[in-house]
């Protein structure tokens, strides 16, 4: 049997985890029937270029899967990628939602496995030992006539052929568009003319240590404040309303909220320096559908397969579950002679059922959390942030 070569498009956390999982799987084999090899391509010119978009990423149930994917050495140092690398996670973490206008606690979510990563640090962490080809922006994909390979072409005129293409190229995935066509692949924006929302995400370093300590009083890395007027303040903020006068800087509109908030949200916003621009962000989602995968030669993973609104903090856990699910199917293909088409069909169907459920739940959660009378009916209160039934299967806990 020839080597099985996987082409991974996108060196975000998902693409890098696919590379780590394949590397670990191939190193574990003593007498491989076929070597699994991979190449990973990233449109940005360097690792530094994509580190500007920062936010914190909580994982609520997927740490056993992350442990399975990562080499032992990396897993033993996983705390290095956390928002606060010195924070010792207690056995059971309590993640709380508050009324931001009074400070009253509305919901307490006990979580035994919570970790909170810094996005850019997690990317750099997952890139260790992985050779990324930068400056490679996908422009087209073509199956071979015999159906045994797929060729990917890049904007710089180069191309490469492999056994399987994994599109891990994020929310507006080019691979998804090439596979499904514009109409079926396009992501929907969460803010609509009928229901306008403003999203901002801003990273700030407060100048005084006392300010940081004050803001960490409820929890060092995680707490949410909701407001009866339809707003959500976390490390990112969202409120109902028309687009700010200057979409590149919503600081005046964000500061206007301070008169309605109690601490620590009030001070966190008041202390933002007046000369810093707070950019607005487009938040989009795509409800995944089953699709033709060219006989198992092209598939999607991570946000490319299921971009979702970040109101339940579930995106990364589903990225991690995708990688675990895909690796298991590829191992069945290579070592148990499962036909590739069956393996990828099963993977795709599993992702659509598991992550598709969460795309819808997160959207519903966003709308309910932003509507005061419905807050307590939001899935974040009724279902907490536990894995759904399909995720329990991947975790082996069903
Ligand atoms: C504000 C915010 C808060 C969030 N909080 C949480 C949370 O608490 N918990 C959680 O689980 N999730 C959270 N998420 C979701 C989480 O960030 C994503 O699910 C996750 O980062 C997706 O990683 P990815 O690698 O799939 O995609 P990306 O990080 O988007 O990576 C895709 C990569 O593909 C590259 N690429 C794109 N197009 C091409 C192309 N044509 N050719 C080559 N390369 C290309 C991009 O440059 C990029 O490097 C949050 C999201 C947001 C916006």
CA 352, CA 288: separation in Å to the nearest integer? 5
Burial class (CB in 10 A: 0-12, 13-18, 19+), 310: buried
* Pocket lining for ligand 1, CB < 6 angstroms: 9-15, 41-44, 50, 55, 57-59, 136-138, 168-170, 174, 201, 236, 302-303, 310, 313-317, 319
Smallest Cα–Cα separation from 310: which of 384, 240, 366, 391?
366
Residues 181-239 have pLDDT tens digits of 999 999 999 999 999 999 998 888 899 999 999 999 999 888 899 999 999 998 678 99
Which of 315, 363, 385 should be mutated for ligand 1, with most atoms under 8 A from CB? 315
Ligand 1 centroid distance, CA of 263 (Å): 31
Residues 45-78 have pLDDT tens digits of 988 776 666 788 999 999 999 999 999 999 999 9
Residues 334-352 have pLDDT tens digits of 988 899 999 999 999 999 9
Residues 73-125 have pLDDT tens digits of 999 999 999 999 999 888 899 889 999 999 999 999 888 889 999 999 999 99
User: CB of 280 within 8 A of CB of 200?
Assistant: yes
- The runs of H, that is alpha helices, within the chain are 13-27, 63-69, 72-75, 119-126, 174-180, 182-185, 209-215, 251-256, 265-270, 315-335, 340-369, 379-382, 389-394
CA 286, CA 190: separation in Å to the nearest integer? 10
Return residue ranges of the chain for CATH 3.50.50.60: 4-189+284-394
Ligand 1 centroid distance, CA of 260 (Å): 32
Nearest CA to ligand 1 atom 53: 310
Ligand 1 centroid distance, CA of 71 (Å): 22
Percentage of residues in the chain having pLDDT higher than 90: 80
Ligand 1 centroid distance, CA of 186 (Å): 16
Q: Give the architecture (CATH level 2) of 4-189+284-394.
A: 3-Layer(bba) Sandwich (3.50)
| Residue 32 confidence class, pLDDT cut points 50, 70, 90 | low
- pLDDT at residue 397 is higher than 80: no
């Amino acid at each position: 049997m020839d080597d099985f070569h996987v082409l991974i498009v996108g060196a975000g956390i998902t693409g890098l985890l696919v590379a780590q999982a394949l590397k670990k799987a191939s190193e574990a084999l003593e007498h491989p029937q076929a070597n699994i090899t991979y190449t990973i391509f990233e449109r940005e010119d360097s690792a530094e270029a994509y580190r500007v978009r920062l936010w914190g990423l909580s994982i609520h149930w997927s740490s056993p899967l992350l442990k399975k994917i990562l080499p032992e050495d990396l897993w033993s140092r996983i705390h290095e990628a956390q928002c606060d690398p010195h924070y010792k996670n207690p056995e059971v973490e309590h993640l709380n939602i508050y009324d931001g206008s009074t400070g009253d606690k509305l919901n307490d979510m006990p979580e035994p496995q919570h970790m909170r990563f810094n996005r850019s640090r997690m990317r750099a962490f997952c890139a260790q030992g992985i050779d990324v080809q930068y400056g490679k922006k996908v422009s087209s994909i073509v199956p071979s006539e015999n159906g045994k390979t797929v060729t990917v072409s890049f904007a710089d005129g180069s191309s490469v052929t492999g056994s399987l293409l994994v599109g891990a190229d994020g929310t507006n995935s080019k691979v998804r568009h090439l596979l499904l066509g514009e109409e079926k692949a396009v992501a929907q924006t969460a803010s609509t003319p009928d229901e306008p929302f403003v999203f901002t995400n801003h990273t700030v370093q407060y100048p005084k240590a006392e300010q940081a300590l004050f803001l960490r009083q409820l929890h060092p890395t995680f707490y949410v404040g909701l407001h009866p007027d339809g707003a959500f303040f976390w490390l990112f903020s969202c409120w109902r309303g028309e687009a700010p006068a200057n979409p590149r800087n919503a600081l005046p509109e964000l500061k206007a909220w301070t008169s309605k908030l109690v601490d620590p949200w009030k001070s966190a916003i008041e202390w933002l320096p007046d000369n810093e621009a707070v950019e607005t962000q487009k938040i989009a989602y795509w409800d995944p559908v089953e699709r033709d995968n060219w006989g198992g030669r092209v598939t999607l993973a991570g946000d490319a397969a299921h971009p979702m609104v970040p109101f339940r903090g579930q995106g990364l856990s589903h990225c991690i579950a995708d990688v675990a699910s895909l690796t298991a199917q590829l191992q069945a293909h290579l070592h148990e002679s499962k036909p590739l088409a069956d393996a990828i069909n099963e993977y795709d169907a599993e992702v659509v059922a598991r992550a598709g459920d969460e795309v819808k739940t997160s959207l519903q959660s966003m709308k309910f959390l932003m509507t005061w009378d419905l807050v307590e009916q939001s899935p974040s209160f009724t279902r907490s942030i536990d894995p759904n039934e399909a995720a329990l299967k991947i975790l082996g806990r069903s």
